[in-house]
A and B are shown apart, each in its own frame.
Chain A
Amino acid sequence: MTDTIIIDGLAFALPMFVMSVGGIFSEKSGITNLALEGLQGFGAFCGSLAAVLFAYGFAGSSRMPYYLSYLIAFAGGMLYAMLHVLLCIKFKANQIISGVVVNILAVALTTFLTKRINEALFSEKSNKFVLETSMRFTVPGLSRIPVLGAVFTNVYPFEVLIIVIAVITWYVMYKTPYGMHLRACGDNPHSADAAGIDVNRVRAIAVILSGGLSAIGGMSYAYSISASFSPDIYLGFGYLAIAALIFGNWSILPTLGACLLFGFARSAGQALIQRLGMPSTYNDLVRILPYVLTLFLLIFFSKNNRSPRALGEIYDKGKR
Chain B
Amino acid sequence: MKKALVKLLGKEKGQMFRISLFSIAISLIVGSVILILIGKNPLSAYGNLLQGTGILPKYSYAGRQNMFTDFMSFLDALTPMIFASLAVSVALKCGLFNIGVSGMMLAAGFAASVTVGMSGLAAPVAKPLVIIIGILVGGLVGGLIGWLKYRFNINEVVSAIMLNYTLMYIVTFFINSFYADPVSRQSTPVTDASRLTLVGVKTMGLKIDIPLAFPFAILTAVLIKFIMDRTTTGFEIKAVGLSHMAAEYAGISIRNNIIKTMVISGALSGIAGVTYFCGYTGSIQPGVVPGMGFNAIAVSLLGNSDPIGCIFSSFLITILSKGAIYLSSQQGVDIEIADLITAVILIFAACSEFIRIYVTRTVAEIDQAEGER
Contact = CB atoms under 8 A, between A and B. Distances in A.
A and B, direct touch (CB closer than 8 Å): yes
Contacts of A57: none
Contact of A239 (B152, B154, B162, B287): B162
Interface in B164-182: 164-166, 169-170, 172-173, 176-177
A35 B38 CA distance: 28
A101 B350 contact: yes
Contacts of B287: 284
Majority secondary structure, B binding face:
helix
A245 to B, nearest CB: 11
A262 B345 CA distance: 35
18 contacts: A87-B347, A92-B357, A104-B297, A105-B343, A105-B346, A108-B342, A112-B339, A236-B161, A242-B158, A246-B155, A246-B158, A281-B173, A282-B173, A285-B169, A288-B165, A291-B163, A291-B166, A295-B162
B166 A101 contact: no
Interface string A91-128: 11110111011001101110110011000000000000
Contacts of A34: 157
Contact of B351 (A93, A239, A282, A299): A93
Contacts of B99: 100
A20 to B, nearest CB: 13
A30 B17 CA distance: 32
Interface centre among A284, A285, A294 (most CB of B within 10 A): A284
A292 interface: yes
A96 B170 contact: no
B158 A243 contact: yes
Interface in B346-371: 346-347, 350-351, 353-354, 357
Given A279-B177, A299-B148, 19 more contacts: A87-B347, A87-B350, A96-B157, A98-B350, A101-B346, A104-B298, A104-B342, A104-B346, A105-B343, A108-B342, A112-B336, A116-B334, A282-B173, A284-B287, A285-B169, A291-B166, A298-B158, A299-B154, A303-B153
B343 A91 contact: no
A115 B177 CA distance: 32
A93 B301 CA distance: 12
Given A92-B354, A93-B350, A116-B38, A285 B170 contact: yes
B152 A298 contact: yes
A191 interface: no
Contact of A236 (B153, B165, B298, B339): B165
Contacts of A235: 165
A77 to B, nearest CB: 18
B294 A91 contact: no
A19 B357 CA distance: 34
B132 interface: no
Given A299-B152, A303-B153, A287 B339 contact: no
Nearest to B355: A91
Contacts of A279: 177
A239 B159 CA distance: 10
Nearest to A115: B334
Interface centre among A101, A281, A298 (most CB of B within 10 A): A101
B353 A108 contact: no
A298 B177 CA distance: 31
B97 interface: yes
